[in-house]
Amino acid sequence: MKKNPTADLLLPSGIGRQVCCKVNLIFLAAMLLLFDSARAQSADTTKTAVKTSAGLAISEAPATVPILYGEQAKNRLLQSVSTIYTRQLTTTPSLQFLQALPGRIPGLNITFSSGGPGLDGNGMSFNIRGARAQIMLIDGVERGYQSIDPEQIESITVLKDALSTVMFGQRSSYGIISVRTKKGDIGKPRISFTAQSGFEAPTALPKPLPAWQYATLYNEARQNDAGIIPVTPQYTQAQIEAYQHHTDPYTYPDVNWYNTVLSKRAGISRYNLNIQGSGKGFRYFVDLDHARENGIIRTSDDNKYNTNAQLNRYALRSNIGVDVTPVTFVQLNLFGRFQRYNQPGGGVSNIFSSLLNTPQSAYPVFNPDGTFGGSDKYQGNANIWGQAVARGYQFQDVRDIAVDLEVTQKMDVLTKGLVLTAKASNNNTAYYSTIRDKNFEVYQYMNGAYTKYGSTSEQTTRGNPNERSRIVYLEGSLSYDKTFKKHAISILTVANQQSRLAFNTTNLPENYTAYSGKLNYCFDDKYVAEGAVSYGGYNWLAPSKRRATYWAGGLGWNLHKEVFISRHLPFISQLKLRANYGLTGQANAGYFSYIQTYFSANGYWFGSGSSLERGSGENAIANTGLNPEKAQKLNAGIDLSLWNNKLTITADYFFNKFYDLVAAPTFTTAVFGAGYPTQNYQRINYWGTDISVNWQQRIKAFSYYVSGNFSLVQSKVAYNGELPKNYDYQITTGMPAGLQYGYTAIGLFKSYDEINDAATAVMPSSPKSSLRPGDIRYLDRNGDGQITVDDQGPIGNAKPAIYYGLCTGFRFKGFDLSVLVQGTLNRQSILSGDFMNGFGNSGQNNAYEYNLGRFTAATAETAQQPRLWLGNNTNNTQVSSFWLKDNDFVRLKNVEAGYTFPEKLSRKIGLPSVRLFANGLNLLTWAEIYNVRKDLDPEAWGAAYPIMKIFNFGINVKF
């Protein structure tokens, strides 16, 4: 297939295109100059750089830890934070850096509902200690860049407790993911070039039954619907044999649409060049990255354009720090990213939905004359191959430009240790969709005749500015650090404001403000105390509710500094007890929802004669009393290191009480005539434990590490403002948050005698006359002789959520290996969609291997699925425990193996370091759900783009 030049496709048009081209040329020229400078000095490149390039598993732990504003010395850290660094990110071959985090950070749970190429955050969600995480910071500013080059990232820190987030004001309750990008450091230029390429394939795809089995099951389903009265089969035995033996593939097609439309694998590649170092009075880090991820949708050579799902990304970062004077430092960060997501004209989601629901017997791909196959049930645009290659194409461009300027002024002239900092950031993002789609007709071929369905249209060209937004962030801070004798004190005050404006709406900007301060005091390097306070505001709340004060405080004790520990237990490198408690907040309000708004109404008029007036109506009632959500959060932890930090253990216990949570009211009446405003009334508690254990050791030339983490989260709805319930088991207050409610299945009806028994309770909407052996039987919880909503109750296991990770690796004489295993426990999922449909939708839904386990007279005692049916089946499609399945899983999430050539050998070709590597993502999966259906991934199934496993190979060269 002919492909468009991706570089041209991704650049903006007109003036913006010219500017971007000039910017790229300037940076490329600068990188080439630095490249030549580095080559001239390559002979003097330090061994430290070479050592780092190999990705040592064993290294000295940083003396400081990234926190919300700046860094904190480990011995004075009282916050619950977890951090990973560049090396742990670059082993994961994915364009979304969140893919590298599952299993690595305790307290952070990331789930994926789809895979494949996609823009930022598509198919991903994450929470921190059970509560929904909302904030992602990059260099201290909220941005949505999840698809950036991991080589640009220095560290990712998860802030989990009140003390770590309280200074963020009205956005401090649900935890924060904070990304810090690399900056220039002192040293000669160091150039790193990485080229990697590989392929990805689905971890699982649905396995539809061949046409003859579909026809056989269809006849069975038709008879099931009729009951004991025999009906004429839809398919004769001769027709079934024609499907099976492919004697007439046009009249009796058997098309495996997944194999026809999807490729077995798709390519992925990434190229990165970055330069880091310093010159006289300045430091720099410059990174240029290009990545491409193809989809698995097949294409046609007849098209001159790309119809596959594909993501192309160009990213450029330049972080430059300048020592303007000995006491004045300026940091300028520039970031530009251009992404294009391409897909077929009808959309990827439509194709996967058609793949899921279309039987293999529906129609042939092509008719004898080469036209697209179809039928009276599958009319124009229905042919899935046509959807993939004959509906044109569409793409979405995303362009991000970010500029950060930070000025740091030492105020030693007043007092040593006093620092004034000012920061400004401007972030612009624009989404633009271009649609060039068309329609096609299909034909049903039967007995030599063709019947046309649908019509063909010319390809359109239209565009749509989906979103254009700007985030402006301003920050000023004053810090003071001083150590005198046994006392160490650190003071920080910060004032910031963030304004977000979406240009594609008429909304006014959304503004957050925060004025905050923090004091950290340490005595004799043993006893630590810290307090923080913030006064936050949010302009979409009513003026009287707009601002609130939040606070947190903590205490710590470095026991290893005590004589009775250091003298008698010298193998203890660190032993710190710490605890903190605080009040945090979260703004959660609609667009100026405290102001009553109205709408024009066409349905009624006031006045008479020539003075008619159009009426108006109220929108949802305003709530002037809406408050920010709040949380009281307790965290107690221990940090332990033994044998000169060979073994490190960090354990935290947390108890978080969220209250004033915003939710729709439950006490309502339709007589009111308008929508009810949301209110502050829900209360939910989360508590649990985060534990991480690390062992690292070097034995001569062999070094290895083993790292594990474990998170346990429990929850309870403390108050839910419920309407009075008839039965206690219907009350959600006191139950775990998010617990699934529905009917309790007690098996399948095995006979008509069971159905017709006088003691059998059924739904009024599904009378006994409509039930058949093999339908689901439900528990009559209240014993009233019928199945109604009063019989719905909790059907989940109510067990705590558990997620964990285990990472291990070694390095020996140039060889290195790392392995990450990630898993979950006590996880359950509702298998809705095609599972519940049987042969629903008048028999137009597909049949799969799991349907072979359906109920029949012969399998009455062992059946794993209800009987088959064609039409609607109200009884079997209810949310019930029958469809709620245990869904624990363990993934071999990430593996990387590499080899760094000996320095003596690589220097012969003028290179201090050359490393070859291979890595993979989602390589193997073990899941409980496989007992139900072996053709789905435990995180994404049905019509979702499949989760992908990636095999990747590359080379890294450092100059």
Token pair 């007690």 is at which residue? 746
Q: What is the pLDDT of residue 867?
A: 94
Contacts of residue 130, defined as CB under 8 A and 6 or more positions apart, other chains included, come to 109, 686, 688, 713, 714, 715, 737, 801
Token pair 């396995």 is at which residue? 207
Q: pTM of the entire structure?
A: 0.88
CA distance 775 to 773: 6
- Kindly state the tokens that stand for 160: 């989990």
Q: Based on the number of CB atoms within 10 Å of its own CB, is 103 exposed (0-12), middle (13-18) or buried (19 or more)?
A: buried
387 part of a folded domain: yes
Cβ 591 vs Cβ 540: under 8 Å: yes
CA distance 637 to 618: 52
DSSP-derived secondary structure letter, 947:
P
Cβ 16 vs Cβ 345: under 8 Å: no
281 part of a folded domain: yes
Q: Which residues are registered as beta bridge partners of 852?
A: none
Q: What is the pLDDT of residue 617?
A: 55
511 part of a folded domain: no
Q: What is the pLDDT of residue 13?
A: 38
CA distance 417 to 408: 12
Contacts of residue 724, defined as CB under 8 A and 6 or more positions apart, other chains included, come to none
- Kindly state the tokens that stand for 407: 């000025």
573 part of a folded domain: no
In sequence order, what DSSP letters do the residues of 873-914 get, joined into one string? Answer: -TTTTS-BTTSEEE--EEEEEEEEEEEEPPHHHHHTTT-SEE
Q: Could you give the C-alpha distances from 675 to 182, 307, 617, 678, in angstroms and in order? A: 49, 44, 11, 9
3-state SS, 759-826, equals CCCECCCCCHHHCCCCCEEECCCCCCCECCHHHCEECCCCCCEEEEEEEEEEEECCEEEEEEEEEEEC
Q: Which residues are registered as beta bridge partners of 296?
A: none
pLDDT along the chain (959 residues), means of 10: 36 36 39 38 34 38 86 94 92 91 94 88 88 88 88 95 96 94 91 96 93 95 92 95 95 96 96 94 95 96 95 96 95 96 95 94 96 93 96 95 97 94 96 94 93 93 88 97 94 96 87 97 96 96 94 96 91 96 94 79 48 54 90 97 95 97 78 75 96 95 96 95 88 92 96 94 93 96 94 92 96 95 94 77 81 92 91 91 94 96 84 93 92 84 92 95
CA distance 740 to 719: 17
Cβ 103 vs Cβ 97: under 8 Å: no
Please report how many Cα atoms fall inside a 13 Å half-sphere around the Cα of residue 783, on the Cβ side. 0
CA distance 954 to 916: 6
422 part of a folded domain: yes
446 part of a folded domain: yes
Cβ 487 vs Cβ 510: under 8 Å: no
Token pair 């194999």 is at which residue? 259
3-state SS, 120-174, equals CCCCEEEEECCEECCEEEECCEECCCCCCCHHHEEEEEEECCHHHHHHHCCECCC
199 part of a folded domain: yes
In sequence order, what DSSP letters do the residues of 60-87 get, joined into one string? Answer: PPPSEEE-SSSEEEGGG--S-EEEEEHH
Q: What is the pLDDT of residue 677?
A: 84
Cβ 514 vs Cβ 533: under 8 Å: no
Q: Which residues are registered as beta bridge partners of 637?
A: 578, 652
CA distance 712 to 143: 29
CA distance 231 to 237: 15
Q: Based on the number of CB atoms within 10 Å of its own CB, is 174 exposed (0-12), middle (13-18) or buried (19 or more)?
A: buried
In sequence order, what DSSP letters do the residues of 325-383 get, joined into one string? Answer: ETTEEEEEEEEEEEEEEEEETT-HHHHHHHHHH--TTS--SB-TTSPBB--SSS-TT--
In sequence order, what DSSP letters do the residues of 232-261 get, joined into one string? Answer: --SS-HHHHHHHHHTSSTTTS----HHHHH
Dihedral over Cα of 680, 682, 683, 689: its sign: negative
556 part of a folded domain: no
Q: Based on the number of CB atoms within 10 Å of its own CB, is 701 exposed (0-12), middle (13-18) or buried (19 or more)?
A: exposed
Q: What is the pLDDT of residue 187?
A: 87
Q: Which residues are registered as beta bridge partners of 822?
A: 805, 891
CA distance 92 to 279: 33
- Kindly state the tokens that stand for 282: 């300045």
CA distance 136 to 30: 31
DSSP-derived secondary structure letter, 12:
P
CA distance 296 to 619: 46
Could you tell me which of 737, 740, 932, 711 has the C-alpha nearest to residue 823? 711
CA distance 157 to 80: 10
Q: Which domain holds residue 420?
A: 184-210+254-481
Q: What is the pLDDT of residue 57?
A: 40
864-889 burial, b if ≥16 CB within 10 A, otherwise e? ebbbbbbeebebbbbbbbbbbbbbbb
Taking every pair of Cα atoms in the chain, the longest distance, rounded to a whole number of angstroms, is 101
CA distance 557 to 564: 14
Q: How many independent structural domains does the chain possess?
A: 1
* DSSP 3-state percent helix, strand, coil across the chain (nearest 5): 15, 45, 40
